[in-house]
Amino acid sequence: GYDSQLLDEAPQQALKSLDRSGRVIYVGSMSKTLAPGLRLGYIVASAGLIAELRALRRFMLRHPPANNQRAVALFLSLGHHEALVRRLSAAFDERRKRLVHAISAFLPEWRSTDSAGGTSLWLEGPRGTDSRGLAEAAASRSVIIEPGDRFFDRSEKPSRFMRLGISSISLQHIEPGIRELATAAGRRPAAA
């Protein structure tokens, strides 16, 4: 994975690296870092399983485009992918810092997680916050948040949590977006 590049902490050892009996299959994709529509990925598994998966693939996709495969192989072999991941990591880090600063300025009673990197930030509103209702109100102001209750695996799901993505927002839109979120939450933001 790219956790060593996209996260601010030491990477976790891949489960596949601990596999001594061939029972772990490692699956990855180029969609997150290169292009969602590229539809190229990789599998690390036994030769027998790879042969079976290739046979199954023919039912879904006759022949993956060879030119795409060659282009990605060249991109990887020249080290461009590693450089791309480093640039993405730096951009996400800058966006995350800007987001945390805007939250502390315009929603001071709210709490953001101490994110270790990645492409999103968890936000906890004060008690009584309804993240689903807030998501609707924010959307009407062109701000997209993801209600957090769907990420909890329990019958009584807290509604005051939400997730804010940073992968596709430009730096100049972060502060105005948090100002709008504060307004949608019923808080009158202070002047910057």
Q: What is the pLDDT of residue 115?
A: 66
Q: How far apart are CA 189 and CA 186, in angstroms?
A: 9
pTM for this predicted structure: 0.77
- To which residue do tokens 């689903």 refer? 132
CA distances, 143 to each of 38, 92, 96, 115, 132 (Å): 28, 18, 16, 21, 13
- Apex 113 CA angle, 169 and 111, nearest 5: 95
Say which residues have a Cβ less than 8 Å from residue 173's Cβ, sequence separation at least 6.
none
Q: What is the pLDDT of residue 191?
A: 47
96 burial level (CB within 10 Å; 0-12, 13-18, 19+): buried
Q: How far apart are CA 101 and CA 118, in angstroms?
A: 17
Q: What is the pLDDT of residue 192?
A: 47
In this structure, what token pair is assigned to residue 98? 């800007």
Q: How far apart are CA 102 and CA 107, in angstroms?
A: 8
pLDDT mean by block of 10 residues, the chain; 192 residues? 53 81 88 84 90 88 85 94 91 94 96 80 93 95 93 82 93 97 80 47
In this structure, what token pair is assigned to residue 46? 């036994």
Q: Give strand ranges (E) for the chain.
A: 26-29, 41-44, 111-112, 120-124, 146-147, 161-165
Q: What is the pLDDT of residue 16?
A: 82
Q: What is the pLDDT of residue 5?
A: 47
CATH 3.10.620.30 fits 83-184, yes or no: no
Q: How far apart are CA 44 and CA 103, in angstroms?
A: 41
CB of 118 within 8 A of CB of 6? yes
Phi, psi at residue 106, to the nearest 5°?
Answer: -110, -15
Q: What is the pLDDT of residue 185?
A: 94
Question: Where are the domains positioned within the chain?
Answer: 3-78, 83-184
